[in-house]
Amino acid sequence: MRPVFFVLSFLAVMGLAFWAYRENYATQSALREMGRLQDEIASLREALALQRAEWAYLNRPERLRELATLNFERLGLLPLDPTQFGAAAQVSYPAPTILPGDALFPDISNPVDVTGQTSTEMAPPPADGQFP
Amino acid sequence: MIRTPLRPLARILLARQKGENPDTIERENLRLRHEEIRDRTRARAEVRLVFLSLGFLAAFATVGARMGLLAATEPVEPRSASAGAQILATRADITDRNGRILATNMQTYALYAQPKDMVDPGRVSRELAKIFPEIDPVAMERRLTDGRTFLWIRRVMSPEQMQRVHEIGDPGLLFGPREMRLYPNGTLAAHVLGGASFGAEGVSSAEVIGTAGIEKALDARLRDPAQAGAPLELSIDLTLQAAVEEILATGKTMLNAKGAAAILMDVRTGEILSLASLPAFDPNDRPNPLVKGDPGDSPLFNRAVQGVYELGSTFKIFTVANAMNLGLVAPDTMVDADAPRRLGGHMISEFQGKNYGPLLSVENVIVKSSNVGTANLALMVGAERQAAFFQSLGFFDPTVIELVEAPGAKPIVPKRWPDITTITTSYGHGISASPMHLAVAYAAIANGGVRVTPTLLRGGVPQNGPRVMTQETAVASVDMMRKAVVAGTATLADVPGYQVAGKTGTAEKPNAQGGYDTDKVVNTFASMFPADDPKYVLVVTLDEPVETSGSEPRRTAGWTAVPVAGEIIRRAAPLLGLRPVVEPPPVDELTAVAN
């Protein structure tokens, strides 16, 4: 019984040593990876800050004003003016959707070609031979 | 344990035979037993003490060893910590109220030399002079060869310049990383931002410190590592600021003014939405202060905050408001305005020798801007109450805005208040204040009589400051100023739809001889809009403007500052989201057309 116990504990020690060895290297590689990622994050942050600065520089009001002047023929941009405010009454209501059953819904009990016709007054069906 | 009996029978019997006292035996045994107990306890205590001292030794040795280890190792960044909580060593960005960047940092490099490693100082000097025009090759070679071991050459440079220095290829030229402050909008809001420069410099880094404006006033906040991730949000609106500066610059050019300033302020929160002072400068390349002459002529001078001027008739509304607040007059009370008039031992006359008298209603005193009428009102109020009212409006102390220049701009207030001072200060002469003071005082009228503290930081909530006048007085004052715009001295600022109310002010500039120059004036227009519920105050000041479209030059504010302010309001009000209250042109009505 005792030799078996010795062998088992020896194997356990070997196994644990192997596990610790692997964990050590895995930890070190994870730390290296983390360091690399943090360097990358830092450089990306720096690039982001630079791009923000460049965005701000390219969008400075002075330059936008010059661009608007240069491209006035195409864009027709002018400074916001008090007269550009509108009243709600100036906005037209959307055209009512006419559903089957409504009084204004066209009568299609007589099967005719109504393609392209939205008028409530039905055009008379074309006579034979009059199709283009 | 085998206990020794205290009275062993054999010895007791023996002692009895000998006629001795057996009690002595018991006492002797008791003594021995106690000695044994004592020795045992002492041994146990000694063992405990040894253990305890060993424990202490181990603990102190651990602490000592750890300290030694920490002292001896090179510092490394914690690699396993996450980058969640940001502690950044950079200076915080500055943004406008909508998050658009006003100041940020950029990575660049400084150039330095170590002459002992240099191969050919002569060639290096010539090549450097080609890249950087300000370098003199002869002087540079002398400095590189005079035996020094270290020399700064450039503080910052562009990537192109850095590449060209690389191409010189000399091992004695070295680069040190630098964080550089960058103002992408150039001269825009230059006086608010101020500028930054390098403080203590090392090879691998340099500290960036603010030199003026908000960069210096809030230097500690901007450098605080715990807040570096959070940009400093100003109350300035970049779009508004650009529009205001553009119009102000146009006005300054058209009116041949020496300088101009404008302040746009929210009357309830005290937030400054735009603060402009012309001429401006580029904070990226801040000019040196003037070494001689008037510092007020430098572009670095912030006319809106540092410029302390006699603000002229814009003060009349304070006199009138004070008189109404004290219940002495109502808007329709008639006051004596017969001009010219000898008051307080001096002749007081009106503009161009006019006479608006003999009697004028208080309202028309403001509309027509009558000096004599205001002077009589001031005499009714009295010196003490007038001074107290000016003080309550903040005209006795520097403004507390977040600019490093603000505490230095102390208003010039008369030391004594005889009648003549009461009279002249009532229409803004003999008392000097900055346009910022004026904006704060007008905001108090505009918001219904509560004093606000101006601020450049966003996130303002309506301030509940001390009340300086009643709501009724404030409303009546705004009505009077509205009439001054509709039918008085400021008609050119009557922007349709925005109900501008305001008061003009034309003050002759004091000259070196102690008198006043008639052809040098400071024109001010202090206004608020919309008059039925004022939300914003706009103060425009022009320094020495002259309007030359007529037959003779005109220097009154009505012809200079007022049209500029009107144009600013016309452009700024839509940007502020204010809709004009004029009715839009009638919608074309649908007409039934018979086919």
Residue B284 carries which side chain, given as an amino acid letter?
A: N
pLDDT at B74: 83
Note the pLDDT tens digit of each residue in B364-422. 888 888 888 888 888 888 888 999 999 999 899 998 889 988 888 888 888 888 888 88
pLDDT at B584: 46
Helix, coil or strand: residue A70 = helix
**Residue B296 pLDDT greater than 60, yes or no:** yes
Contact A34 B80 (CB under 8 A): yes
Q: Is B313 a catalytic residue?
A: yes
Contact B79 A34 (CB under 8 A): yes
Contact B107 A80 (CB under 8 A): no
Cα–Cα distance for residue pair B332/A53, rounded to 1 Å: 58
Q: For residues B418 and B517, which has the higher predicted lDDT (pLDDT)?
A: B418
Note the pLDDT tens digit of each residue in B560-586. 889 999 999 999 999 998 888 864 454
Among the residue ranges A115-129, B48-62, B119-133, B158-172, the one predicted with the least confidence is A115-129
Cα–Cα distance for residue pair B139/B145, rounded to 1 Å: 10
Asked whether B377 and B335 are in contact (CB, 8 A), the reply is yes
Residue B164 carries which side chain, given as an amino acid letter?
A: R
pLDDT at B488: 82
Q: For residues A101 and B455, which has the higher predicted lDDT (pLDDT)?
A: B455
Q: Write a three-state SS string for B1-52.
A: CCCCCCCCHHHHHHHHHHCCCHHHHHHHHHHHHHHHHHHHHHHHHHHHHHHH
Nearest to B298 by CA among B274, B280, B313: B280
Cα–Cα distance for residue pair B324/B523, rounded to 1 Å: 26
Interface membership of B83 toward A (CB under 8 Å): yes
Nearest to B188 by CA among A56, A67, A62, A53: A62
Chain A interface, best mutation among B579, B583, B588, B595, by max A CB count within 10 A: B579
**Residue B588 pLDDT greater than 60, yes or no:** no
- B573: chain A residues, CB-CB within 8 Å: 82
Binding-face residues of B in 271-310 toward A, CB within 8 A:
none
Cα→Cα distances B430→B390, B411, B469, Å: 13, 11, 24
- Res. A126 pLDDT band, cuts 50 70 90: low
pLDDT at B290: 80
Complex confidence, ipTM: 0.73
- B500: chain A residues, CB-CB within 8 Å: none
Residue A25 CA neighbour count, 13 Å, CB half: 5
pTM of the full structure:
0.77
Dmax over Cα atoms in chain B, in whole Å?
164
Cα–Cα distance for residue pair B283/B188, rounded to 1 Å: 9
Interface membership of B580 toward A (CB under 8 Å): yes
B499: left (phi over 0), alpha (psi -120 to 50) or beta: left
**Residue A109 pLDDT greater than 70, yes or no:** no
Nearest by CB to B106, from A50, A81, A84: name it: A50
Contact A62 B79 (CB under 8 A): no
Catalytic residue among B125, B313, B432, B434: B313
**Residue B85 pLDDT greater than 60, yes or no:** no
- A59: chain B residues, CB-CB within 8 Å: 100
H-type helices in B447-560, by residue range? 471-487
Span B183-204, average pLDDT? 88
Kindly list the residues of chain A whose beta carbon comes within 8 Å of any beta carbon in chain B.
31, 34-35, 38, 41, 46, 49-50, 52-57, 59-62, 65, 79-87, 89-90
Nearest by CB to A82, from B77, B100, B570: name it: B570
Residues ≥6 apart with Cβ < 8 Å to B456 = B192, B214, B234, B235, B236, B271, B272, B275, B401, B402, B403
* Local structure of residue B412 (DSSP, 8 states): B
Asked whether B450 and B266 are in contact (CB, 8 A), the reply is no
**Residue B92 pLDDT greater than 50, yes or no:** yes
* Local structure of residue B195 (DSSP, 8 states): E
- Res. B76 pLDDT band, cuts 50 70 90: confident
Cα–Cα distance for residue pair B327/B347, rounded to 1 Å: 28
Among the residue ranges A86-90, B136-140, B317-321, the one predicted with the least confidence is A86-90
pLDDT at A43: 87
Mean pLDDT of chain B: 87
Asked whether B525 and A110 are in contact (CB, 8 A), the reply is no
Cα–Cα distance for residue pair B362/B328, rounded to 1 Å: 11
Q: What proportion of chain B, given as a percentage, has pLDDT over 90?
A: 36
Chain B interface, best mutation among A41, A85, A91, A92, by max B CB count within 10 A: A85
Contact B185 A83 (CB under 8 A): no
Q: For residues B429 and A70, which has the higher predicted lDDT (pLDDT)?
A: A70
- Res. B179 pLDDT band, cuts 50 70 90: confident
Note the pLDDT tens digit of each residue in B35-46. 999 999 999 999
Write out the two tokens for A43: 């450089």
pLDDT at B273: 94
Going across the sheet that includes B501-510, the strands are B272-278, B259-266, B536-543, B516-529, B501-510
Span B503-511, average pLDDT? 85
The full DSSP string for B108-125 is: EEEEEE-GGG-S-HHHHH
Note the pLDDT tens digit of each residue in B438-492. 999 999 999 989 999 999 999 878 888 889 999 999 999 999 999 888 888 888 8
The full set of domains in chain B, from first to last, is 94-233 (3.90.1310.10), 240-282+300-548+559-575 (3.40.710.10)
> Which of B34-48, B165-179, B280-294 is most confident?
B34-48
B168 membership: H or E segment, kind and range: helix B159-168
Asked whether B405 and B192 are in contact (CB, 8 A), the reply is no
Q: What proportion of chain B, given as a percentage, has pLDDT over 70?
A: 95
The number of C-beta contacts closer than 8 angstroms across A and B is: 78
Note the pLDDT tens digit of each residue in B199-258. 888 888 788 888 899 999 999 888 887 777 788 999 999 999 999 999 999 999 999 899
